[in-house]
Amino acid sequence: MINKLFAALEGSYEEMVDIRRFMHQHPELSFQEYNTAKFIQAFYEKLQIEVKGNVGGNGVVAKVYGKKPGKTVALRADFDALPIQDEKDVPYKSLVPGVMHACGHDGHTATLLVLAKTLNELKEELEGTYVFIHQHAEEYAPGGAISMIEDGCLENVDVIFGTHLWASEPTGTIQYRTGPIMAAADRFEIDIQGKGGHGAQPHKTLDAIVTASQIVLNLQQIVSRRVNPVDAAVVTIGSFTAQNAFNVIADKAKLIGTVRTFNETVQQLIEVEMERIIAGTCSMSGSTYDFRFVRGYPAVVNSEKETVFLTSCAQKVAEVTTIEETEPQMGGEDFAYYLQNVPGTFFFTGAKPLGNDMGYPHHHPKFDIDEKAMLIAAKTLGVAAINIHGND
């Protein structure tokens, strides 16, 4: 069975590449992926595969039924893009100004579409049900996963698998981890209200920029002095805005950033400590503040049984040269919500472009992948989907 799966996927590799490149040229932002969703749904309809659109928003869910009864296995791919200008010099460069697939979601979608087509061709020999979850809006909280789950995409699902094409690792690498593999990703905003004035008369003002600057520095003490050193955590200020005139002391300043944690206790500690520091710093300067801490995606926590099973499946893929346990990643992923509902695992498939020793990181204007990684991802996911029923 696995040999048939591999042969069929290899025969459809060019189609996989074509789909990925078409999507790369026509990216759509989170919650705006209307044409992408139509494209995915039309693909399934042409193959006469059961499909439902508008799942939890722009999500698409397709199902393939094996001839014999068995478990229900879900496989997930996301399909939204990012607000980044594509700077690559390639024939499939984004045609949409200021929008590009800079995280591999086009490759995820192409992988899953061709895998679904292949499993449909083999359905007379398969057991159970195969659910293909095409998720919108992974990049922007609250994300698409939670709304798709609420709309029933996990109904009767026994196990779920997902992968992320990982451009920082060589093609042929599969990275796994039992337990937390990606962090909870929270967002915060801090508005400082001081008293503005003339740049030559600072004694008559409450300088919001100085206060905000002190807050930036003071917040760094949370991870270094309040969080247990054995617990991973990140507090990052990503945006600092204020009055931009050279001779004006700003009355307002705004800080925006993110907190990344794996442990909910640490997450709560950081939120409390942030407000304590902000309040104390503003009190010292005589300023006031507004602090908003928005919980984002929870940590992605892989099931042990399914993770071990996945590594055994990866061993059956000839193109996989390295299977290794990875360190926890501080990036966020709303695949976390699926794993809160059903057992499963999320893993990384190496996709560093050939000839690019550095490899542009995810979310970079020149981001790209080695498209051969899609075939490896499809084979690995395919083996997992089939072997969960004991079919070799």
Give the 3-state DSSP-derived string for 359-373, with helices as H, strands as E and coil as C: CCCCCCCCCCCCCHH
Q: Are 351 and 373 in contact (CB under 8 A)?
A: yes
Q: State how far the Cα of 36 lies from the Cα of 29, in Å rounded to an integer.
A: 10
User: The tokens of 356 are what?
Assistant: 């690019």
Q: What is the chain's Cα-based Rg? A: 23
**138 among known catalytic residues:** yes
* Residue tagged active-site, from 80, 139, 186, 370: 80
Please state the length of the chain: 392
Query: Torsion over CA of 19, 21, 26 and 31, rounded to 10 degrees?
Result: 60
**50 among known catalytic residues:** no
* Residue tagged active-site, from 33, 78, 127, 138: 138
N-terminal to C-terminal alpha carbon distance within the chain? 6
Catalytic positions, written as ranges: 80, 138
